[in-house]
Structure 1
């Protein structure tokens, strides 16, 4: 490929994707809202752009083969805050992709699009939307937008319903963990698979306790290798008995399923900021 555009390049997950994406294209254009993202790789450029501003997104995607769309507010917030970057921003990415003839968008969706399903249900990629927050609702919107733009305008999309891509620091993550190596593998497969149409795949490692089923996305060839079971004994020994009446313990969305709308779900997850620096 000639050009890949990565949104959310300043984020933690974006930091792990920049170098692998460069290996798949002649040029990587990274973008986010910060003034700069530090040292750039060879053949990488950085453009500051606001996802909520279509006039800034349109030229960014000119000549791109694919967009890896990881830019958004990454936590629950009031709807008015989510609306710009997560909802209008998603529309702007798909509309700019269509106008520029971009073939495919690889989208960082989330388990929170289906977060209110009980964790005791082993759900597949065809599970109906059941968002747990405004954040999850925005993921539902973007997935439906992706489906619409495939059906009506021929823009392919692979929606990665990421469960929890961070160090394993809590009991939920023993099932929901996506390692950085498996994240990279997943994105590479979403890009390199010859034909995808509109597809949904769960972003989760090969965990013994993974609560979701990727069987219907097997054509992507995503075969994760890491397993959070290696952390299970230590995590469970440090975790008090879980309250079965707490939706955060009983639903796929974890704490996002139990917080009041507009309040942070990430605050309860003990996320370690181990952003990659080159």
Structure 2
């Protein structure tokens, strides 16, 4: 089945760069959007439309005639609340409301483990774990998951919320459990798009890691079957990192460094993320 029109927000971001080509192949028209001036060379069937998520009229203009929206646009770090309010909170409302008004069927949302980041990894939480955000950033993910639930209950707008753990190169011990490879990311998003009926759904974005700290079994109907396993990196990572501090919430909680930083302080600054964005 080929969709008439899909919308991708956050297309200029690292994860968005890997989603553009497979999404373009699934539809007649892919409208990629971000606040950047351009995103370089476009794929067949793709066009770029700049839009600020905090501005409803700009978001609504993206949605005209859309079948589904893949919403990856946001500030992807902890910041003071007022800096996140526009893009991460108001932006989510704008996406859902504009999608509903345009008659779209579904929103696929890049949620995050940070919605439940203060849960301990040893608890092996499932998709029904109560919200326990580690930051204002995580709180925005909780807000949007609840927003999606409400729009399904009240307006029958479907949504799939992808609680991504860590989609980045494996260079620390936390990532041995939390890694989501780019190939598995693509599979995760495409299954969220092409599954016939999803209602309101939550699923963890994590690869088939031996040390995965979450339980995805209740979301198996979405058809996501990850292939990659971070264990291939374990010997090197563990030798380089050495023993961890078991009193450190950054080691013990799902949120990693985000569980440790003060509210409003960058979590990304505590991490070593390689910017291996896909080039067109």
Does 1:86 find its partner at 2:88? yes
| Distance in 2, Cα, partners of 1:49 & 1:253 | 30
Aligned with residue 78 of structure 2, among 76, 101, 117: 76
Matches within 5 A, 1:24-173: 24-173=26-175
Aligned with residue 226 of structure 1, among 228, 239, 242: 228
Matches within 5 A, 1:155-234: 155-234=157-236
| Distance in 1, Cα, partners of 2:231 & 2:242 | 18
| Distance in 2, Cα, partners of 1:57 & 1:255 | 32
C-alpha offsets along residues 167-218 of structure 1, whole Å, 9 cap, x if unaligned?
Answer: 0011100000000000000001000100000000000000000000001000
Deviation for aligned residue 1:59: 1.4
SS in 2 for 1:166: coil
Deviation for aligned residue 1:103: 0.1
| Distance in 2, Cα, partners of 1:151 & 1:50 | 27
Deviation for aligned residue 1:222: 0.3
TM-score calculated relative to the size of structure 2: 0.99
The answer for unaligned runs of 5 or more in structure 1 is none
C-alpha offsets along residues 23-55 of structure 1, whole Å, 9 cap, x if unaligned?
Answer: 110000000001001111121110110000001
| Distance in 1, Cα, partners of 2:250 & 2:271 | 11
Aligned with residue 244 of structure 1, among 243, 246, 257: 246
SS in 2 for 1:9: coil
Match of 1:274 in 2: 276
| Distance in 2, Cα, partners of 1:88 & 1:59 | 16
Deviation for aligned residue 1:240: 2.5
Q: Give the conservation status (yes or no) of the 8 Å contact 1:104–1:155.
A: yes
C-alpha offsets along residues 61-117 of structure 1, whole Å, 9 cap, x if unaligned?
Answer: 000000000000000000000100000000000000110000000000000000000
| Distance in 2, Cα, partners of 1:242 & 1:263 | 22
| Distance in 2, Cα, partners of 1:35 & 1:140 | 30
The answer for unaligned runs of 5 or more in structure 2 is none
SS in 2 for 1:252: coil
SS in 2 for 1:200: strand
State how many pairs are aligned. Answer: 278
| Distance in 2, Cα, partners of 1:26 & 1:137 | 35
